[in-house]
Each structure stands twice: as structure tokens, then as C-alpha cells.
Amino acid sequence: MFLTGYGKAARKRRDRLATVVIASLAGFVLLVLASLMTYIFVQGVSAVSWEFLSEFPRHAMTEGGIFPAIVGTVYLAVGSMCISIPLGFGAAIYLAEYAKPGALVSAVRLGVANLAGVPSVVFGLFGLSLFVTTFGFGRSLLSGCLTLGLLTLPTVTAAAEEAIRQTPASFREAALALGASRWQAVRQVILPAALPGMLTGGILALGRAAGETAPISLTSATAYSPALPDSPFNEAMALTTHIYNLATNGSDIAATRPQQFGTSLVLVTLVLGLSLFALVIRARLRRSRRW
């Protein structure tokens, strides 16, 4: 029999079979992912040109470019980082440097771990209820940035805490032994050592914020705007919602297909570029680290 028996030959056969099965599973996954990327690239690349990147949409979105959507996505992603990086880094410093084990720290950590799994559409509902309605910001860039900022906060916090914990304890002890106060040790010794790692987490979160659809469509996005937003209280277009709108709601979905794939390619390039940047920094950091 092929799969039974405990003779040496049977066990060797099983080993080989399992190796083949696992390697082909992995190969299949990688093949799917690679062909997906190729498809997105091939479909999108013919639509992307300088005009596509720098002009406003025309003729019910069938012509022209996606400039306002690019600008909107950049505003939203950068704006959300202005919220989540200070708060996330602060929370991470507290958890890693100040907090003593206890009920508060367990609660914070459980909260952060759970928030990371809360669906983005639920954050969208929260933003709609708190920022759009209760605070009266309306559907605006500001509401979108705040919502995305809270959405990425757990990711930023967890990555930053991890980065701080990876600085050796001897750094901290040496600073304190020289008479530094806690804050002096954090500011002058620990943060300079941990900052590249913390920022890597921030860049990954930036990519995630740029790729979100549902929270933006609930709190800030508009299908079309004739001008760039000139205040935080304006609605704005975004790449993700632009793709969604073109693919599902347009008057002529087939006619806007090149636009859809072109926008997808721009979005994927932006998000993967940011992630790649973060990964490269992380890899360099690991190699150059001397402790």
C-alpha cells in the first residue's frame, strides 16, 4: 500500500509525497498571486499616462484622469497618520517604558489587540456617528482622516511597542544609571534607537489607510468633485472609492473599464510601494543593527 505501513520504504514514500503536495500547494498560491499582479499590471498599464495622472475626469468619467482622487487619497492617508502616529507612539511608549504590569496595562493591551480585528466598516459606522453626526464635521476630509486615524491606531501602537521592546535593556539601564530621568532616557536614548522600527510600522499603516474603501465611503468620499478640496471640511474623491464607483455605479461600466484598471494600478503601486519601502527599511535595520 502507498499510504500505510511503517517499513522504511513506505515512510520514505510518504515523506516524498508530502513534500510534493506541500510544495505544490505553495507553488499554486504563489502562482495565483503572481498572475493576479501580472493581470493588474497588464490591464492597467495601457490606461496610465501623464494625462491620466494629472487631469480631472471628463465625460462622465469615461475620459480624463484621476488627479483629484490621487490628491484625496494622499490627503486622507497623510492626515490619518497625523492622528495615529502621535497617539500610537505615545501609547506604545507608555506600554513599553512606563507601565507596570497590572489591570490597566492588561486592559489597554486587550483593547489594542481587539481593535486590530474590528472590521473597517465598523470603524466607518463609528466615524459616521461620532465625527460626521455628533461633532457635526459632516462628510468631510476631516471626518475621514479622524476615522482612518483611529482605524490604524492599533496597528501603529503594536508595531511601535514591538520596536521599543527590541532595544536592549542595557541602553535603558545605562541611561538611568547615569542619572537620567525616565523621560530623558526615553527621549535621548530609547527613541533614537527605536524610531526607525517605529516608523516602519507607521509606513505600513499609511499603506493600509490608502487602501481602505468602506470607512472612507461612509465618512468622506464623494463620487465626483469638480475641484480639489480647499478645506478640511470639504468632501474629497479617493482612489479606492473611485474604483468602486466606476465598477458598480457608472452609467456605462464597460466604457470606464480602462479607467478602472488604470486607477487600480495607481493604487496598487502606491500601496505596495509604501509597503516595499517599509520592508526594505526593516531589512536594512536588521542587517545594520549592532546590538
Partner 1 sequence: MTGKKLPEWNNLDANDERDSVVLHPETNFRPENKETPGIVTDGVGSQLFNEREPGRKKPERAPLLERADGDPPDDREPLETVDLRPRLSPAEKGSRFFFLLCAVLAMGQMLLIMVFLFGEAVGLFLEQAGSPRVALGSFLFGTDWYPTYPEPAFGSFALVAGSLAVTFVSTLLAGPLGLGLAVFLSCLAGRRTREWVKPAVELLASIPSVVLGLVGMMVVAPFLQETLNLPTGLNLLNSSLILAVMATPTIASLGEDALSAVPRDIQDASYALGATRWETVWRVTMPAALGGLSTAVILGLGRSLGETVVVLMVAGGAAQIPGSLFDSVRPLTSTLAAEMGETAIGSSHYQALFALGVVLFFMTLAFNLLAWHLSRRWRTGR
- Please state the separation of Cα 285 from the chain's center in Å: 20
Pairwise CA distance, residues 256 & 268, whole Å: 18
Span of 45-53, 74-82, 188-196, 204-212 interacting with partner 1 by CB under 8 A = 204-212
Q: Which is nearer to partner 1, 45 or 122 (CB)?
A: 122
| 91 counts as binding partner 1 under rule CB under 8 A | yes
DSSP code of residue 221: B
- Compute the least distance from the CB of residue 102 to partner 1, in Å: 5
**Can residue 23 be called a binding residue for partner 1 (CB under 8 A)?**
yes
Residue 173 CB, nearest approach to partner 1 (Å): 14
Q: Pick the closer one to partner 1 by CB: 95 or 230.
A: 95
Cβ-based nearer residue to partner 1, 115 or 193:
115
Restricting to residues 208-267, name those near partner 1 by CB under 8 A.
Answer: 208, 210-214, 217-218, 240-241, 243-244, 247-248, 257, 260-261, 264, 267
DSSP 3-state of 236: strand
Residues 25-64: x/- map of binding to partner 1 (CB under 8 A)?
A: xx-xxx-xx--xx-xx------------------------
226 Ramachandran zone, left/alpha/beta (phi>0; psi -120 to 50): alpha
Distances in whole angstroms, Cα of residue 45 to Cα of each of 42, 112, 126: 6, 39, 37
Of 4, 50, 100, 136, which one interacts with partner 1 (CB under 8 A)? 100
Which residue number, 62 or 275, has a Cβ lying nearer to partner 1?
275
Among positions 58, 59, 182, 284, the unique one binding partner 1 when judged by CB under 8 A: 182
Q: Site for partner 1 (CB under 8 A): which residue of 45, 78, 122, 177?
A: 122
Distance (Å, whole) CA 108 – CA 155: 14
Among 140, 143, 152, 157, binds partner 1 (CB under 8 A): 157
Q: Are 176 and 165 in contact (CB under 8 A)?
A: no
> Binding partner 1 by CB under 8 A: which of 88, 197, 250, 262?
88
Q: Dihedral sign for Cα 271, 276, 281, 286, please.
A: positive
Quote the least distance from Cβ 69 to partner 1, whole Å: 12
The residue count for binding partner 1 (CB under 8 A) is: 96
Q: How far is the CB of 27 from partner 1 (least distance, A)?
A: 8
- Cβ contacts of 128-135, under 8 Å, gap ≥ 24: 128/218, 128/219, 131/219, 132/218, 132/219
Among 74, 97, 193, 233, binds partner 1 (CB under 8 A): 97
Q: How far apart are CA 255 and CA 121, in angstroms?
A: 29
The CB density around residue 128, as the number of other CB atoms within 10 Å, is 17
164 contributes a contact to partner 1 by CB under 8 A: no
Report the Cα–Cα distance between both ends of the chain, in Å, rounded.
54
CB 225 within 8 A of CB 67: no
Shortest spacing between CB 195 and partner 1, in angstroms: 16
